[in-house]
Amino acid sequence: MSTPPTSDAPAFETLLVERSGGVTTVTMNRPARKNAANGTMWRELLAVFEEVARDRDTRVMVLTGAGDAFCSGADLGDTGDLAGRPGDPYLVQMRALADVALRLHRIPKPTVAKVGGIAAGAGMSMAVGCDLVVASDRARFSQIFSRRGLSVDFGSSWLLPRLIGLHRAKELAFFADILSADEAASFGLVNKVVPHDELDAAVDEWAGRLAAGPPLALSMTKTMLNNAMAVSMEQALEDEARSQAANFGTADTAEAIRAFVEKRDPSFTGR
């Protein structure tokens, strides 16, 4: 039985955080700026990502934006406070931004980007840095950096070639074109495109299925898939063997086998 949604909004200046039924929804909340991320938002995102990673009750995180945007990227109107402490040298601030990207990547449970509008620059990088991307038919995506005289950041140089191949990645980064949701899906950047008024329901359905899944097994699967490009076949098989050995010692795998025999849905506890 799911718990009523709870909100931690008063704790944050730029984020809304709600928890319900094992799903933590993080909403970037600067709609007047199309959720452009200033230093405060990056610091708050880092704190929330760290909390989600630790929280036993969170089985899946949904990341989205308030209003008609997902995130339009870094707020370049406040270049004195991009991500680090105000006034830090740009390299120090960009390294602080990199910490946010890496923390998102390392969350040991499934993450879903719910994109209902523009996702540009670091905002697009953040969306595709999630494990799954669900977009409304109003969503748009752009690696806008070159139009601003900038090179790519927030992990795009690592993510995009792995997601869509080197030549497609260069096309997006060099030209900074704005892609429709369908175009982004055709590139392989989006898992599912739905009509705008069906976006909430589509994400709720996927998040609910993930939250009902086996937390330990999904976490190990995520880690192995994230590492796939960096290991040999032999190492991948060894990682699979160790993960399965760990799974067979859990109460969740025993429950799944009982449920299969009894022809019912399993109830996973993460133990």
Residue 6, pLDDT score: 52
* Domain definitions of the chain by residue range: 6-211, 215-262
Distance CA 157, CA 169 (A): 8
Distance CA 35, CA 15 (A): 10
* pTM exceeds 0.85, yes or no: yes
Tell me if 3 sits within 8 A of 57, measured CB to CB. Answer: no
Residue 76, pLDDT score: 84
Residue 109 token pair: 């449970």
Residue 182, pLDDT score: 98
Tell me if 214 sits within 8 A of 256, measured CB to CB. Answer: yes
**What is the mean predicted confidence (pLDDT) over 51-70?**
97
* Tens digit of each residue's pLDDT (9 = 90 or more) over 149-195: 999 999 999 999 999 999 999 999 999 999 999 999 999 999 999 99
* Tens digit of each residue's pLDDT (9 = 90 or more) over 118-134: 999 999 999 999 999 99
**What is the mean predicted confidence (pLDDT) over 229-241?**
96
Residue 83, pLDDT score: 77
Model confidence at 2: pLDDT above 60: no
Compute φ and ψ for 18, nearest 5 degrees. -125, 145
**How large a percentage of the chain has pLDDT more than 90?**
90
Average pLDDT, the chain: 94
Model confidence at 8: pLDDT above 60: no
- Give CATH superfamily name and number for 6-211: 2-enoyl-CoA Hydratase; Chain A, domain 1 (3.90.226.10)
**How large a percentage of the chain has pLDDT more than 70?**
96
Residue 13, pLDDT score: 94
Distance CA 2, CA 265 (A): 16
Tell me if 144 sits within 8 A of 73, measured CB to CB. Answer: yes
